Structure 1
């Protein structure tokens, strides 16, 4: 469910579809496919694995067409099989879909009773059959898609073609990004402008509930009520795109949804090299890393929580002692220096005053091994450090950090694994496993984003509260801290986070029916312990809101609300579980009517003490 591209033209669009899917690979995926209409016949090719394998099969089968759609999928409903790959076809209707349809089981039962059979385990095939069903009621393609989407609960971006409408492509959007690319005598659709940038830079961003009829000669857009509507044309520019809202209401929302791309860009060098090498951090990193006996991380705010996650990784993976300290505290105490410790400073802007001053203080104590993790090239903190790892999040405009945080975590994970390898603590098998985990990470982040419709329901309840508790254990405790910080920053709800095991040592006194308790509870070695802590909350009448994994084997009950990410992703789970708490904070703030991008009393780059 990760990437969509479609094209209609006088020329062969198969190369456009293939190139578009290759440009969408950053999102993470496990299968790819295209469907094209040729001489009144629907042809489809799908493959598990890389886009290149699917493209080779299309070439071998002589695919050529002037109308087609394509997709890269990351498995949710149903395993990684060709039958579950997109596009899905129903009696001459072909469809690709990003998102999650929550009422697919109900619709599947209904369609089965109407005589439809299912070849896949996906929620997407339901939509294809629904559209065909409405075509059978005498509707033309656009009306059939509009009728079908009115019966769907959940999030979707759709692109549809039909054997009976050889000159038309229809698309629809609800909760998942989708845009239309404008050409001369040809037009395109995509989930990301990168998929069609080789063909056009002129784009229309569809808004929530929009549907569109796309032909060679033009584009007609309709709002959620089916009324014709004009959407402004934009000229896409890579350097300017990060400074524009596009179809989003706020920069924070935009930046939350940019995280699959930001994560992929940040780890690109690792994936390309298929290795963790010291040169990721600078030309003389090997000299700096030689003899390192420990790591000291200095940061503020969200960056401090990123460092707190890294402490678990560095100690568990690299076997080095690691301490994390708030920069504004470190700079004013008499620290005991160990010149063989690596000083790591983290700052989105590279200009954070407290962190800069902490770095200067560390250097005054004799620390020469310094590394900064930063999102802004040539900013002050990287210039003052021997080594630097630049996150590639792009411009982050919203005050509340989102994509900068998750890309910092990618950089810190790379540091932990690189130190382990440099010190002989990493086997070739483990290195390959970590690279594979990173390769799948953007797709997992995208799937966490697809939980947004469910999280909106929670946010409406949270908006009525004045206080909240967040709980986590182990490496997920800092994610609870980050969730509480986000709620405080933009919704102005007082929120605190604790290690779940500390609940009975004081915070439990706050728990009652008016105190929502958010729990980060992935399926890891501490899940059973977290369940016990949740029982402590329920016994006091507290209401639980639990973020967990699909295979955690517990579900909602009275007073216990559960949202599941599709799968547990192992050591990188903190990155994936960051997404739901960001979305919860954003939609809670939205419901409370606060200034999301510019919360009161806060600034993006903190350059004063």
Structure 2
């Protein structure tokens, strides 16, 4: 989602700020900007804060900055995903405050306060009304401008004190970075509910702020992870951190960690888009995620306290919390956990879970699933579950240094690598691999996994990369299907059993990047309503593995065909479903039993990708969407 980069240095940091924004482009954004201290480098202009903003890509912002010759040693930068106010330049960050009484027409003159913000301020309307009464004039529709004016109104010679007083009045989630005109070598940051990290440059002579360590890749690998409620004060060659209680924190409380972040600007190689590249990286991502797994033991999930064996012995049920694609991986895991481990499992949409009355059970393992480990809704749901007394927590996550990993008792770190495309692909399949390992570990701890079964499952896991290569070879056939789909505006996806969540994921992928309206149903639900939608203009995609529900699924296929519907079937080789008029069949290379969801989702990813290409959409950065959703 939104991205923050800030710096205090004795050299020109404008290129670092803009390059940091480029590394965060994978999150998705609709505007960007940079603000710098005009007097933070010798000979760089008059006092005051100056900025550049754009509703185009970061590359256009870079060209704008280079054209104006913007140079400074202190500054902040931002990529915005619109929440309050349309994606227009006047709503783009950084936001200025010039003090009370300044008309919007003067908004681009050098400011007194410059501020960037990730998150949502829930009491912004009340604060705006109060500030307007005090003479502050607003030039945007954003909640962020409220914070800038609030800081200005509280400033009395010390930026840190003003920010501390301002955040005490904010309700909601935020990470902010703030400059003040009269303090040219200072950036103050604060976080509550949105991630923010501090980067320490070589020798500690320059300091950085960022919403993600990736933004600082190639600049510094020395990272301090700020915790909930922290404020940080960056000055030339030194920094201070205070905790939520306002007390200063030492290095032991917020240690500097070496983080080898990889830039999101990886080479595309022979691929047209990052999404296509990431689809084809799945065999390697699965192999990396399973690397080192020699046997099924609880220790695979140990956190810092090596507590997995004890936790697994003291739980009676599982509660999975996740959003979007990660939620669908949780739905697949429910089938595995109840079938193989015989443990009751509940899967909740994280954004809904904490707003309803539920019945907590302290003998529940709360499992969160997140690619970034910073998903705001999932973090909030996790904290809610812990407040209800459910202290046994585990996360399946792709970022080892994320808030999700730090806040959970146990963890399994997937190794999908950086996923640049907004529509998740390799993160999803590696999540499934991690969740299957969790299923086997829980089954073993409950005495439901024999040595023979363990060996069979491990063999199947190790063969997955090869099996995935076989599925990827189907790409030319899926390009042919995509040519048909590109001319449609609606589609249905059907699945049964543990492939119903795969149908949901296939529909989501098509929606996300091609903008075709798509829905997914358990195939048995067709006659309970969705069959009314079926015409020859409504393609119906059916996931048809050779499992115990195959004959039922064949009946559902005939229901569609009898109504003139056109079917696109992903079938195992031995299903005896053949292509005919109105039925297009692609045969999967092999049947893969309980792990077949990992194989069947890949053709659906390719179908969505090539349909989007045929329609000419922005595949890697689909409209209105963001990669890491750090606001509720």
TM-score (norm 2): 0.58
Change (3 A) 1:248 1:238: farther
| Aligned with 1:473 (options 496, 509, 515) | 496
In the TM superposition, 1:542-561 aligns within 5 A as: 542-561=565-584
CA distance in 1, matches of 2:348, 2:263: 36
In the TM superposition, 1:311-326 aligns within 5 A as: 311-326=334-349
Kept after mapping to 1: 8 A contact 2:274/2:421: yes
- What is the aligned-residue RMSD (CA, Å)? 1.3
Kept after mapping to 2: 8 A contact 1:317/1:417: yes
| 2:409 is the counterpart of 1:386 | yes
- Residue 606 of structure 2: aligned partner: 583
| Aligned with 1:424 (options 447, 458, 464) | 447
| Aligned with 1:365 (options 340, 363, 388) | 388
In the TM superposition, 1:29-68 aligns within 5 A as: none
- Residue 84 of structure 2: aligned partner: none
- Residue 519 of structure 1: aligned partner: 542
- Residue 76 of structure 1: aligned partner: none
Please report how far the alpha carbon of residue 377 of structure 1 lies from its aligned counterpart in structure 2 after TM superposition.
Answer: 1.2
- Secondary structure of 1:495's aligned partner: strand
- Residue 496 of structure 1: aligned partner: 519
In the TM superposition, 1:94-493 aligns within 5 A as: 243-270=266-293, 273=294, 275-282=295-302, 283-493=306-516
Kept after mapping to 2: 8 A contact 1:302/1:401: yes
CA distance in 2, matches of 1:423, 1:462: 46
CA distance in 2, matches of 1:374, 1:386: 13
- Residue 40 of structure 2: aligned partner: none
Q: Which runs of 5 or more residues in structure 1 are unaligned? A: 1-236
| Equivalent pairs, count | 370
Please report how far the alpha carbon of residue 240 of structure 1 lies from its aligned counterpart in structure 2 after TM superposition.
Answer: 6.0
CA distance in 2, matches of 1:281, 1:424: 18
Query: Which 10-residue stretch deviates more, 479-488 or 243-252?
Result: 243-252
CA distance in 2, matches of 1:316, 1:265: 27
CA distance in 1, matches of 2:446, 2:266: 42
- Residue 101 of structure 1: aligned partner: none
Please report how far the alpha carbon of residue 269 of structure 1 lies from its aligned counterpart in structure 2 after TM superposition.
Answer: 2.1
Please report how far the alpha carbon of residue 550 of structure 1 lies from its aligned counterpart in structure 2 after TM superposition.
Answer: 1.4
CA distance in 1, matches of 2:266, 2:425: 15
Kept after mapping to 2: 8 A contact 1:349/1:374: yes
- Residue 560 of structure 2: aligned partner: 537
Kept after mapping to 1: 8 A contact 2:262/2:418: no
Please report how far the alpha carbon of residue 431 of structure 1 lies from its aligned counterpart in structure 2 after TM superposition.
Answer: 0.4
TM-score (norm 1): 0.60
Please report how far the alpha carbon of residue 551 of structure 1 lies from its aligned counterpart in structure 2 after TM superposition.
Answer: 1.7
- Secondary structure of 1:372's aligned partner: strand
Kept after mapping to 2: 8 A contact 1:269/1:280: no
Kept after mapping to 2: 8 A contact 1:242/1:394: no
Kept after mapping to 2: 8 A contact 1:299/1:347: yes
Q: Which runs of 5 or more residues in structure 2 are unaligned? A: 1-259
Please report how far the alpha carbon of residue 429 of structure 1 lies from its aligned counterpart in structure 2 after TM superposition.
Answer: 0.5
Please report how far the alpha carbon of residue 291 of structure 1 lies from its aligned counterpart in structure 2 after TM superposition.
Answer: 2.1
- Secondary structure of 2:377's aligned partner: helix
CA distance in 1, matches of 2:519, 2:439: 28
Kept after mapping to 1: 8 A contact 2:514/2:612: yes
In our comparison, the structure showing a higher alpha carbon Rg is 2
Q: Residue deviations 1:51-110, cap 9 Å, x none?
A: xxxxxxxxxxxxxxxxxxxxxxxxxxxxxxxxxxxxxxxxxxxxxxxxxxxxxxxxxxxx
Kept after mapping to 2: 8 A contact 1:242/1:395: no
Change (3 A) 1:367 1:479: same
Q: Residue deviations 1:141-163, cap 9 Å, x none?
A: xxxxxxxxxxxxxxxxxxxxxxx
Kept after mapping to 2: 8 A contact 1:252/1:596: yes
CA distance in 1, matches of 2:405, 2:462: 27
CA distance in 1, matches of 2:290, 2:601: 18
Change (3 A) 1:364 1:241: closer
Kept after mapping to 1: 8 A contact 2:264/2:420: no
- Secondary structure of 1:269's aligned partner: coil
Please report how far the alpha carbon of residue 241 of structure 1 lies from its aligned counterpart in structure 2 after TM superposition.
Answer: 9.1
CA distance in 1, matches of 2:523, 2:370: 28
Please report how far the alpha carbon of residue 466 of structure 1 lies from its aligned counterpart in structure 2 after TM superposition.
Answer: 0.2
Kept after mapping to 1: 8 A contact 2:264/2:418: no
Kept after mapping to 1: 8 A contact 2:571/2:577: no
Please report how far the alpha carbon of residue 244 of structure 1 lies from its aligned counterpart in structure 2 after TM superposition.
Answer: 1.9
In the TM superposition, 1:584-599 aligns within 5 A as: 584-599=607-622
CA distance in 2, matches of 1:378, 1:579: 28
- Secondary structure of 2:491's aligned partner: strand
CA distance in 2, matches of 1:432, 1:539: 45
CA distance in 2, matches of 1:362, 1:242: 37
